Amino acid sequence: MTQKLTILFDLDGTLVDTAPDLVNAHKHVMKKFGFETKATDDIKKLVGRGAKSLIYRSIYNTAKKEFRKFTDESTKEEMVKEFIDYYGRNINNESKLIDGVIDFLSWCKNEKISMGVCTNKQEHLAIDLLKKIKIYDYFEYVAGSNTFEYCKPDPRHLTSVLEIMDGSIKKSVMIGDSETDADSAKNCGMKFILLEDGYTEKKVSEIHHDHLIKNFIGLEKIVKNYLNAMSWMVEIIEAYVEGLPTP
């Protein structure tokens, strides 16, 4: 089937506000291993690159604050495992969909727009959350941090999913909430839509984006513009091939 448009979505902070459950898992681990817990906003800033980065950066920041080093790699790995295990058991206690997500996904499905997920959450956790929050069936493919040998901001995370979905960069859009998503899209030449108030340390002005949205309410208007632009390009190509005057 000819690709109409493909939309790739980030998960945490984009489709789902997972911060409450991530914060609870983080607090559990930090308390268990004798580290200072952090405020919700601080944890949200560290989420974008996955569980290992979240724990390692939390340890580093605490050690730096307390003027001490923490170099026990086995303990670090144990903390990451504990975080993943605890979070996996409590993955959908307080998480909720971002406003407008269901209506937008339903509209995309009716418009025959292909949809996939590219997240730095581990694949099994991403699939489990999507199923429990009841939006898994909208997506053709879900790629996590461990699906390939690379993940965002490496652009191959996106391009590999597109290849699997039989899509093309020129007819695709990425939607995310952080510079991790933005950089991966920019580095493969894909259009990028940024959600405000994302899980990031950076300001909106510091993150590359083609469009800025507060949530998914009314996002159909922006996507329709992409569809119209692509339809116009198809007409030009077809006219060129047939030797007719271009529109």
Q: Of 10, 12, 21, 181, which one is the catalytic site residue?
A: 10
CA nearest 129: which of 8, 21, 9? 21
The CA-to-CA distance between both ends of the chain, in Å, stands at 26
Instruction: Say how far apart CA 14 and CA 237 lie, in whole Å.
Output: 35
Cα angle, residue 210 at apex, residues 204 and 214 outer, rounded to 5°: 50
Residue type, 98: I
Q: Is 10 a catalytic residue?
A: yes
Instruction: Say how far apart CA 136 and CA 138 lie, in whole Å.
Output: 5
DSSP symbols for 14-36: TTEE-HHHHHHHHHHHHHHTT--
CA-to-CA dists, residue 23 to 20, 41, 232, angstroms: 5, 9, 46
Residues annotated as catalytic (active site), given as ranges: 10
